[in-house]
Amino acid sequence: MKFQKFLSVVVAALVLVVSFSVVVSAEAYSLGDVNGDGVVSISDALEVLKYLAKLPDNAITKGGKDSLAWNAAVIKGGDAPSINDALEILKKLAKLENEIDNPTTPKVPDVPVVGVSNKVGNTSGNLLNMGLAAIQEDWIYYTDIDSGIWRVRTDGTGKAQVTDDLAFFINVVGDWIYYNGGNYDDDYDSVSLRKIRTDGTEKTVIKEVNGLFTCVVGDWIYYLDSDEDDIYKVKTDGTGTKQLTNSGEVSHFCVEDNYIYYDDYDDDDDDYFFITKIYKMDTDGKSVSVIDGIIFPDDDEYFFAALIVCDGWIYYEGVAMESMTTHIGKIRTDGTGAALITTPEDYKGEEYFISAYNIDGDWLYFTNGYEEIYKIRTNGTGMTKIYGDEDEFVFFVNIVGDWIYYYDLEKEGLYRMDKNGKNVTLQLTIDGQLTVDN
């Protein structure tokens, strides 16, 4: 207690000090640059002291263990920031021998080494669900949008924050993470197409556009311009932008095997919800055709709410215009084999509303309302409730490897569970805290 009071006094004193700064590289984290402003200054020592004094308003507590701020603060080694780390920052500013300029035990971060690169940056099912998680080899990359991008090995080791940008629609190809993102302090005003290396370096703005359902395939990024409601593509280096549709009425799209599948508003009704046609075109915007043969469970009028394309199948959610009940259907990408997977009364004769769904191999996972998660085989058999209760408000079901990542709006956090609904663990809270999830 006496030590904590002492630190509080030191913190108060430091606030009165006129600071001076040493410019450092701001890529990834830099030792000593705790607040992430690109310089090592008295403010960074202050952040460490605030953390040690258990004052809540500091970058280390906000970022949590293994965040950029945490890693920048642990200068002398050890499991957590200490008073010795604050002293090393002060030594650097005083131009004395210090562990920042000449570390005796250099940090060797656990960073991904790519063996086999993804050809496609994420699945269309995950991108339908905001692209909160993606996987490449044995590394998972994830976000809750507000808390930056984090990485972790599939065995739970190597957790670290890659960037503190707002981020969604994550794609991973080779050494790069592609995403829609912005600066946290600017809220969503600065959202653009961005990329950053998987080790947290070379953050780059590719294009100043809010691109939805962003999908990276090889050297191309496909996105829906949120202002124009049309599909575009641009090379990963930011060159070669090309508009692929010009109706101004596209709401969603997927890329699969050199083709783009997308929905379009009804020609006779420009209401957003009345999407009644699915189109197919090549990735250069040519050879456009309509997918015919889609079936519905009854004679009610239906519109499409969401598409997923996977292994030669188009999956779609149909919503009844009058009753607002929902179902999932499928049809092959060549227009054959149309079938219903669920009907509006599949679960014990009760109606349900599908608020999110995703595909993983032979299984479809979906939410009933916002409280429960179910799974069912894509042939329509084996429906099982795997998780949920009245305290849940489940959004955005993402599937990577053996795990389901989902956002719980009621509990304000990103969670992970296995595919049977077990081993549920909190990953990120809304304020960016990373929790132990082993």
Give the max Cα distance, the chain. 80
DSSP 349-388: TB---EEEEEEETTEEEEEETTTEEEEEETTS---EEEEE
Residue-level pLDDT at 405: 95
Q: Token pair of 63, please?
A: 């970022």
CA distances from 284 to 161, 234, 245, 258, 350 (A): 36, 11, 10, 9, 44
- Which residue is listed with tokens 């915007």? 285
Where are the alpha helices (H) located in 266-409, listed in sequence order? none
Distance (Å, rounded) from C-alpha 357 to C-alpha 424?
Answer: 18
pLDDT in tens, 293-314: 888 887 777 777 789 999 999 9
Distance (Å, rounded) from C-alpha 162 to C-alpha 148?
Answer: 7
Nearest residue to 314 (alpha-carbon basis) of 296, 300, 328, 297: 328
What pTM, to 2 d.p., does this model score?
A: 0.81
pLDDT in tens, 240-275: 999 999 999 898 999 999 999 998 875 555 444 556
Residue-level pLDDT at 107: 60
Q: First and final CA of the chain: distance in angstroms? A: 32
Provide the pairing of β-strand 413-418 with 403-408. antiparallel
Q: Token pair of 333, please?
A: 């990408």
Task: With beta carbons less than 8 A apart as the criterion, state whether 93 and 20 touch.
Answer: yes
Q: Token pair of 197, please?
A: 């290396």
Task: With beta carbons less than 8 A apart as the criterion, state whether 88 and 32 touch.
Answer: yes
147-168 b/e (C-beta count within 10 Å ≥ 16 → b): bbbbbbeeeeebbbbbbbbbbb
Strands (E), 67-127: none
Distance (Å, rounded) from C-alpha 227 to C-alpha 205?
Answer: 18
Distance (Å, rounded) from C-alpha 314 to C-alpha 194?
Answer: 29
Domains of the chain: 2-93 (1.10.1330), 124-429 (2.120.10.30)
pLDDT in tens, 53-93: 888 888 888 888 878 888 888 887 777 898 888 888 888 88
State what percent of residues in the chain have pLDDT above 90. Answer: 47
Q: 282: Cβ–Cβ under 8 A, 6 or more apart, which residues?
A: 258, 259, 260
Q: Token pair of 302, please?
A: 């239906």
Identity at 249, one-letter amino acid code:
E
Write out the chain's pLDDT in tens, 438 residues: 444 443 443 344 343 333 344 444 344 567 889 888 888 999 998 999 989 888 888 888 888 887 888 888 888 777 789 888 888 888 888 888 888 788 776 565 677 878 889 999 999 999 999 999 999 999 999 998 778 899 999 988 888 899 989 899 999 999 999 999 987 665 556 789 999 999 999 999 999 999 999 999 999 999 999 999 999 999 999 999 999 999 998 989 999 999 999 988 755 554 445 566 899 999 999 999 999 888 888 777 777 778 999 999 999 998 887 777 788 999 999 999 999 998 766 555 556 678 899 999 999 999 887 788 999 999 999 999 999 876 778 888 999 999 999 988 888 889 999 999 999 888 876 554 444 343
Identity at 403, one-letter amino acid code:
W
Identity at 422, one-letter amino acid code:
K
